[in-house]
Amino acid sequence: MDKILIIGACGQLGTELTLKLRELKGTENVIASDLRDEPIDLLTEGPYEKLNIMNKEAFQIILEKHQINQVYHLAAVLSAKGEQNPHFAWQLNMESLLTVLEAGKDRLKKIYWPSSIAVFGPDTPKENTPQNTVMSPNTVYGISKLAGERWCEYYFEKYGVDVRSLRYPGLIGYKAMPGGGTTDYAVDIYHKAIVGEKFECFLSENSMLPMMYMDDAVKATIDLMETDAENVKVRSSYNLAAMSFTPKEIAEEIRNHYPDFEITYNPDFRQKIADSWPGSIDDSAARNNWGWQHKYGLKELTETMITNLKDTIV
Ligand code: AKB
């Protein structure tokens, strides 16, 4: 039986992944953990542990207590926040991964760890970015994700640790807010639109970035974790894609629902980060190796975000 620990369960992806895994594996078999004393409201029904993953001892105690055999390690400092405190971001993102990978040597059957399009940089081909290409990240987040990918492959090759990973694009969902990313505008914009407010975008109107609706991201993650090990041919991290759009395009799509919606542009330091990332991603390896398929494009994303946010907020 799988006993799963989610590290960073109260975050944007963690919340939705925990809910889905509890539905699939049984609430009692999925232990949420995060820095907070108590879980967020959506996660109060199942087991919860307060955990700072920098505390290796506390991590070991939780593994032992719940007889954990799978870990989803989602805790990280993201791209924009990482630039404010680079050393801390490096320390947290790297040390926590190594702690989890070490546990993979004996106790854990499988590990999931997210990478990101941030592993790419200004020298990377921008369109249809291949799985294997020039990688020259220039954010501390991107550097830590690229180094993390190398560590994942190393632990798989050297110690047989079954660690699996996806390079997420910007993730957009309505259940939990993102924090500290460059793609966060694409969540905030919906929150402003449904309450009839004007949106000031911190990226310029033509900044094209790869994005994905949360249900697709959760599905990809669980599909990758559930597929037979022999199908997982990439042990660094898989490119993953669904749609790409600019702030101007998402605003136009929102205007199909709210014709008076207004957007202004005031690019800040995050513009440089966005400019260094690809506009679109070639994820054919994921599609060919374990059958990845996305469901949501910009139109479906916008309909779903607006319908659900209207129910929860307005
Ligand atoms: C960020 O913007 O930092 C993240 C990411 C693309 O990894 N959403």
* 3-class secondary-structure state, position 274: helix
For residue 116, give the ligand 1 atom closest to its CA.
7
Q: What is the arithmetic mean of pLDDT over 233-237?
A: 98
Cα atoms in the Cβ-side hemisphere of radius 13 Å centred on 292: 28
5-43 residue pLDDT tens: 999 999 999 999 999 999 999 999 999 999 999 999 999
For residue 178, give the ligand 1 atom closest to its CA.
8
Domains of the chain and any CATH numbers: 4-170+213-239 (3.40.50.720), 172-210+242-312 (3.90.25.10)
| 274 Cα to the center of ligand 1, angstroms | 10
- pTM for the structure as a whole: 0.97
**Per-state percent for the chain, helix, strand, coil, to nearest 5:** 45, 15, 40
**Catalytic residue ranges:** 141
| 199 Cα to the center of ligand 1, angstroms | 20
Q: What is the pLDDT confidence band of residue 124, given thresholds at 50, 70 and 90? A: very high
Question: Residue 169's pLDDT is what?
Answer: 98
Q: Which of 138, 141, 239 to mutate to test the pocket of ligand 1 (most atoms within 8 A of CB)?
A: 141
Question: Residue 91's pLDDT is what?
Answer: 98
Rg (CA), the chain: 19
In contact, 284 and 240? CB cutoff 8 Å: no
| 118 Cα to the center of ligand 1, angstroms | 7
C-alpha dist (Å) from residue 201 to 173, 208, 299: 18, 13, 20
293-309 residue pLDDT tens: 999 999 999 999 999 99
Pocket of ligand 1 (CB under 6 A): 78-79, 116-118, 141, 168, 170, 181-183
Question: Residue 175's pLDDT is what?
Answer: 95
Nearest CA among 29, 28, 30 for reference residue 17: 30
Question: Residue type for 247, please?
Answer: P
ipTM of the prediction:
0.98
Side by side, the strands of the sheet bearing 163-164 are 48-50, 30-34, 4-7, 70-73, 110-112, 163-164
